Amino acid sequence: MMVQSPFDARISVVAATAIRILRYGRTLHTWSADEYSVFAVAGGVLYRVGTSYSDPDCMVVAVDLSRGRILWHAPLRGLGPQITSRYWHRVNIVATGNLVTVYDESWRSYIEGLDAKTGRRMAHHLL
């Protein structure tokens, strides 16, 4: 699958184990992925959740699409320490304006909001 962004960056799935950002044929950023990997693009920045679906300790990584440079990474509070054999960490991510929202509806639900410029946690709620 290939996704064209308005910043001349192409995001492609490499097999089923990696996703990469290409700009003018040059790889800017690559990360490990699986079928549950999620990302969002807003304002020239790609926001990705860097985690395995069974790992309760995940983080959001913000990547500048024009240079492929990591702008920030922020650990998510999520549900806190969990027993991973019972907990599959499948999250979704939405980026709009100044807010990056991550939410999970897989085992117990939560929603977490991060500042899009800094990654600072703005809100966290168990649902």
HSE-CB for 44 with a 13 A CA cutoff: 9
**Mean pLDDT value of segment 19-39:** 80
- CATH 3.30.530.20 at 35-126, yes or no: no
CA separation for the pair 31, 10 (Å, rounded): 14
Is the pLDDT reported for residue 22 higher than 70?
Answer: yes
DSSP string covering 36-102 = T--EEEETTEEEEEES-TT-S--EEEEEETTT--EEEEEE--TT-S--TTT----EEEEEETTEEEE
Give the pair of three-digit tokens for residue 52: 């395995």
- Give the per-residue pLDDT at 55: 52
Instruction: Label residues 49-85 b or e (16+ Cβ within 10 Å = b).
Output: bbbbbeebebbbbbbbbeebeebbebebebbeebeee
Average pLDDT of every residue of the chain: 76
- Give the per-residue pLDDT at 62: 94
- Give the per-residue pLDDT at 66: 86
| Domain residue ranges in the chain | 35-126
CA separation for the pair 36, 21 (Å, rounded): 18
The CA-atom distances, in angstroms, between 14 and each of 10, 34, 68, 71 are: 12, 10, 17, 23
**Mean pLDDT value of segment 88-112:** 81
Per-residue pLDDT tens digits for 34-93:
777 788 999 999 998 875 544 555 789 999 988 889 999 998 876 665 544 445 567 788
- Give the per-residue pLDDT at 13: 52
